[in-house]
Amino acid sequence: MIIKALKIFLAIESKTAEFEEDHSLVRTSKTAIESVLFRLRLIDREWIVEKIRNELKLKETENELKKVKNIEVDINSQDGKGRTALHIAVDNGEREKINTLLKKGADVFMVTKEDNTALHFASARGYDDIAETIFNHAERQIRLSAKDLVNARNNTLSTGLHLASNVRTAKCLLKHGAIYNAKNDLGQTPLDHAGDEKVFGLLKTVDGLFNAVRNGSHNVIQELDEFDPEEALAATNARNYQGHCLLQVAIVN
């Protein structure tokens, strides 16, 4: 089946060049080609080549194998919902595929038609390790601060922290500078929007720390020593809507 599909694809791709751009065959074929190309981004190219070799067990197919290898694929092109291959891989929790896509140049800032980044998907799914992978890639490979990504908003003005489905992910986001009291289009903060009890508890603690420091109770900073390391890091790196961390708020109050 895979051999037949690829042969048809290669034939269609070359034949469309023989017709005018607005020809019905060209329009129909382009839609089919775009669909095939999008699926190819989700599959390891070498796996396809090996699959053909195993099915045919013939050396005369090398010319077609080269064609498959040379198919040009835009790693950041989008499907009908505006999703890239990275969005889909993150949504499915496919960690190995995510690493491959990032190495090949997948853009972590690409958004869907609902303005969701891959980080929004990771947050909603509770994949804190994937969120960490995305942050590390942003900082090391494209030299952008995690804060440029962590507070990105979708079409409801929700950040990843609004969508965080477990406390591990919430801690990860706060550690990288998430704004704990950012408001969405309904005026809700992540605390208002929290659907997980532990996420609610963490955000309630962070909110209480900021309020205490803003009111001059600087002794709460010392209380952070009693927190577990991850929670303390999340609290000290969290930002308010002005972009200030707990220590900065303490200094000016």
How confident is the model over 132-144, as pLDDT tens digits? 999 999 887 666 6
Residue 231 pLDDT more than 70?
A: yes
pLDDT in tens, 55-98: 555 454 556 556 555 555 688 999 999 999 999 999 999 999 99
Backbone angles phi, psi at 251, to 5 degrees: -65, -40
pLDDT at 253: 81
Q: What is the pLDDT of residue 28?
A: 56
CA separation for the pair 144, 108 (Å, rounded): 11
How far, CA to CA in Å, does 100 sit from each of 70, 75, 79, 206? 18, 11, 19, 36
For position 218, what pLDDT does the model report? 78
247 contacts: CB under 8 Å, gap ≥ 6: 221, 236
Give pLDDT tens digits for 168-205. 999 999 999 999 999 999 999 999 999 999 999 999 99
Q: How far apart are CA 240 and CA 248, in angstroms?
A: 10
85-252 belongs to CATH 1.10.3300.10 = no
Report the candidate in 154, 164, 152 with the shortest Cα–Cα distance to residue 185: 154
For the cut 70, the answer to whether the pLDDT of residue 160 exceeds it is yes
Q: Can you read off the two tokens belonging to residue 185?
A: 């289009």
Ranges of each domain in the chain: 1-70, 85-252
Task: Give the model's pLDDT for residue 128.
Answer: 98
